[in-house]
Structure 1
Amino acid sequence: MYEFYSSDDIRRQNGDHGLDLGRETGRTAFRKDYARLLHAPSFRRLQGKTQLFPGSESDFFRNRLTHSLEVAQIAGGIAARLNHLAEARHFGEGIDLDLVEFASLAHDLGHPPFGHNGEAALDELMVPHGGFEGNAQTLRIVSTTEQKLVTDAAGEPSSAYGLNLTMRALASVLKYDRPIPLERRDGAALVKGYYDSESELVAAVKNAVAPGYVGEFKTIECSIMDLADDIAYSTYDLEDSLHAGFVTPYSLFDALENRSEIAVAVFDKTNKALADSGYEALDNPGQLTDCIEEVFRGLQPQNGVSTNTGVANKFRAGANAWLRDRQLASNSLARNQFTAQRVGSLIDSVEVKVNEAYPKLSKVMLSREALLRVEVLKHLNFQLVIRSSRLAVVEHRGKDVVRDLFLAFSDTGGRLLPDDWQTEYRAADGDSAKARVVCDFVAGMTDRYAAEMHDRLFGKGMSIFKPL
């Protein structure tokens, strides 16, 4: 009989199993992992990293920290539901909620300042040195760069194990089971995976969690986190866009009907997601509008007039100004109704595909109808908001800031780094290792700190008293 959570799962990175299989006065090994993450500086810094809109524009908008908290809540809801399905018999005493929430809180740790443009800038600079990617950086942070003093196998104090997490916790953030090539040509596309520097660790994690397994490795906790992230992105990021007035229900519908380049892009990406889940593809982009109608069906303005009679017909007739105009931007009750109903229905639509031989590697997925609604809104929001000129200007500036900082720290031989990072830089063996130290430092910056540091180096913000 397999163990859904075995003693090897809770073995820590430094080899220690802990007391009583990780249980100390009622605190499990995974609860300790959760606590170590919650108190880590890299987790706190997520409050200063942009999710969709810059936090300086409005206190309403989500940042990477609040987004991660929402993902954790959704993931916990998914796990709790799965533990009550018939398939739960494969999961021992049940999927551990602490571990699922740990994976969710950790999933964005590796994102650099200024979002995906910051990620692109660092990857371009690191192409000769093994690349950069947010998920790979997350694994590196929790296993290497975040500091927690522990003992090594010889009992000597060491800071070489990051947060010294359990093998199963490390597995829960291994979202892409592929190594990023050490060498790529300039201009090559970003590769999602893990760095070569963590390849031995990844092999150890796989051997501990699923010994003998051959195939793509992804634990059920990671799968739940990944799905919860998609649900949050397609719901709460859309709510931010509605609040900001960047989109309205009508503009989503109109983009699919009258902007063919957007409709085709959303159609192609949605069909790819359907195919990846083994579902039947859509026949043509015209079918996407039915999803928008379904998503907003039943949404009610404050005057109590329901939209149940058909969103699409109302849009075409031009009769419902509440859905056509930007009134959702100021109607917080309606937005709250929209997000609450949507998240609840999506959690209820989650299914699980059990891996009979390795239940730990079972996969969670949405029903076809639910997946369709998630993918259409996710990609529509990307096309209409993230690719809009207003956000493009901000992100373009962020890419320049990240690039300038990296080059300034590298070109000065690390002399501009804080003292502890200078020590790491000097100890690094070779150009690639030194570049990785600089990359780690820049990637860990918040948006505000990066902009401020850039101003101190290249603008008018000089001060010898403000610490680095």
Structure 2
Amino acid sequence: MKNRFYTEFDTASIGRGQSKNVKGRTPFEQDRDRIIYSPAFRRLQNKTQVFLSGEFDFYRTRLTHSMEVSQIGRSIVNHLNRTSGLLSDDFHIDQDLVESVCLAHDIGHPSFGHAGEQVLNKLMFKSGGFEGNAQNLRILVDLFYRDKSRWKGMKPTRAFLDGMLKYKTLFSDSEKKKHHFIYDFQRDILDFVSPEVAFDSLFETEKELNSFKSLECRIMDWADDIAYSIHDIDDGIRAGFITMKKVRNWMEELGKGLSPDHATFLDNLCGAIADDTFSEFLARLIGEFIHCTTLVERENPLSPMTNRYRFNIAVRAEGKALCSLLKDMAVALVFHTPQVHQLEFKGSMILRQVFEVLEGEYIDGKSEYRLLPAHYHHALALRDDDDKRRMLCDYLSGMTDGFVVRTYKRLFDPDFGSIIDLI
């Protein structure tokens, strides 16, 4: 049965990359399958979510996090399709599309988490910056497939690409230029996603522009919030960062700013930690957050063109508030600790020093040493300095935690580099 929710406008693909032939699968299924089979997606298994990947085998990585977000996203879609009186069997949100967006939402994020993202942005500041979400788009549109020393995209559908557009502000228009932007050369993506109405013509402020998202992007955003707010707490408890004593102390610090309902919730969490039932206690929240979600209609200049902007999700206030409480606790008790900050500092230092070596050799030097694989080495010779810097950033941001560390050791550790180490 044809799904009337999406039209040819939604399934049209941006013109660069491998075409989608009819193979008994919808364009959205092909988007999803290409993500799952891609090297960029597999590399997420060795990229930091909270704790450095490989530190312990039960902590979440970017890969397991992305899989959890995709499952929550599918469940939200299933809930909305079943409970909303606005949808029907032949007019519904596509689960494969939402799953694609959720699976790919971190595909461009570098090693060492947000610390890696921040240091790459500083290193690339004079050449257009670096932002994990902008790099998501770059991979999908420009870097997905490689043929020797040339790259091309996966030819994503308009709906999929728009679902990935968490932010629509160009780097040059960004006020702080720290995050929440896309690269200036990605304006053509904005033009493709909304060919008749320029996004930046609709809003006066950067915040308003970045808040204007398609339905599928909204679902992915909420699924991401659910996943990391709950699972960062779960990992934090397992790692020993979050204990009953630390939760109690944090409650005292919040004082009157803590509502009675949230105080009761944290008391119950302390009980679950004491009973070693915290994993089950937290897992139940996923269903509660999913069922906090409802479908609503909205009006805007894009709503006549596509149902993706005719509809939006609303999340009940109590669900949003509890999710924010969990995120605040993770920041206070896990992320803002000396142990995590020390790891972030080390990761930033490693990325910075490796980048500076590559920049010195391929941009400031004469490429006397072949420090990069042959396809990058040859491709760099054909670029100007800004393009070279962007290509080096592409290479470095795609490296896993372990790969960056091994590269750093080869370059700087005198005791690392025997023939066994090089294999």
Letter of the 1:229 counterpart? D
Matching of residues 163-312 of structure 1 within 5 Å: 163-181=154-172, 189-207=177-195, 214=202, 216=209, 217-258=212-253, 263=254, 286-296=256-266
Matching of residues 303-322 of structure 1 within 5 Å: none
Task: Assess if the C-alpha contact under 8 Å between 1:456 and 1:463 holds in 2.
Answer: no
- Tell me the secondary structure at the aligned position of residue 81 of structure 1: helix
Match of 1:86 in 2: 84
How far did residue 249 of structure 1 move? 4.6
Match of 1:266 in 2: none
Matching of residues 62-101 of structure 1 within 5 Å: 62-89=60-87, 93-101=91-99
Residues 8-33 of structure 1: CA deviation (Å, up to 9, x unaligned): 221222279978xx7532x1110001
- The 3 A distance-change label for structure 1 pair 60 and 212 is closer
Residues 227-279 of structure 1: CA deviation (Å, up to 9, x unaligned): 10001111011100111111125522421313xxxx4xxxxxxxxxxxxxxxx
Equivalent residue in structure 2 for 1:450, among 398, 404, 411: 404
Mapped pair 1:440 → 2:410 = no
How far did residue 54 of structure 1 move? 2.0
Match of 1:378 in 2: 327
Task: Assess if the C-alpha contact under 8 Å between 2:295 and 2:314 holds in 1.
Answer: yes
- Tell me the secondary structure at the aligned position of residue 54 of structure 2: helix
- Tell me the secondary structure at the aligned position of residue 408 of structure 1: helix
Q: Distance in 2 between matches of 1:50 and 1:158?
A: 28
Q: Distance in 2 between matches of 1:211 and 1:394?
A: 39
Task: Assess if the C-alpha contact under 8 Å between 2:41 and 2:104 holds in 1.
Answer: yes
How far did residue 191 of structure 1 move? 2.9
Please give the TM-score of this superposition, normalised by the length of structure 1. Answer: 0.78
How far did residue 128 of structure 1 move? 0.2
How far did residue 209 of structure 1 move? 10
How far did residue 90 of structure 1 move? 8.9
- The 3 A distance-change label for structure 1 pair 83 and 356 is farther
- Tell me the secondary structure at the aligned position of residue 294 of structure 2: strand
How far did residue 416 of structure 1 move? 1.6
Q: Distance in 2 between matches of 1:350 and 1:126?
A: 39
How far did residue 161 of structure 1 move? 3.7
Residues 406-426 of structure 1: CA deviation (Å, up to 9, x unaligned): 111110016422111122322
Q: Distance in 1 between matches of 2:178 and 2:200?
A: 30
Task: Assess if the C-alpha contact under 8 Å between 2:244 and 2:274 holds in 1.
Answer: no
Task: Assess if the C-alpha contact under 8 Å between 2:44 and 2:63 holds in 1.
Answer: yes
Q: Distance in 2 between matches of 1:12 and 1:225?
A: 20
Letter of the 1:238 counterpart? I
- Tell me the secondary structure at the aligned position of residue 427 of structure 1: coil
Q: Name which of structure 1's ranges 4-13 and 84-93 shifts more when overlaid on structure 2.
A: 84-93
- Tell me the secondary structure at the aligned position of residue 194 of structure 1: coil
- Tell me the secondary structure at the aligned position of residue 83 of structure 1: helix
- The 3 A distance-change label for structure 1 pair 60 and 129 is same
Match of 1:431 in 2: 385
Task: Assess if the C-alpha contact under 8 Å between 2:81 and 2:88 holds in 1.
Answer: no
How far did residue 104 of structure 1 move? 0.6
Please give the TM-score of this superposition, normalised by the length of structure 2. Answer: 0.86
- The 3 A distance-change label for structure 1 pair 94 and 403 is same
The CA RMSD measured in Å over matched residues stands at 3.0
Letter of the 2:38 counterpart? A
How far did residue 214 of structure 1 move? 3.8
- The 3 A distance-change label for structure 1 pair 146 and 209 is farther
Letter of the 1:195 counterpart? Y
- The 3 A distance-change label for structure 1 pair 442 and 247 is same
Aligned length: 401
How far did residue 440 of structure 1 move? 0.5
- The 3 A distance-change label for structure 1 pair 395 and 224 is same
Letter of the 1:60 counterpart? F
Unaligned runs of 5+ in 1: 150-156, 264-284, 300-310, 312-321
Letter of the 2:180 counterpart? K
- Tell me the secondary structure at the aligned position of residue 363 of structure 1: strand
Q: Percent identity?
A: 33
- Tell me the secondary structure at the aligned position of residue 365 of structure 1: strand
Mapped pair 1:420 → 2:419 = no
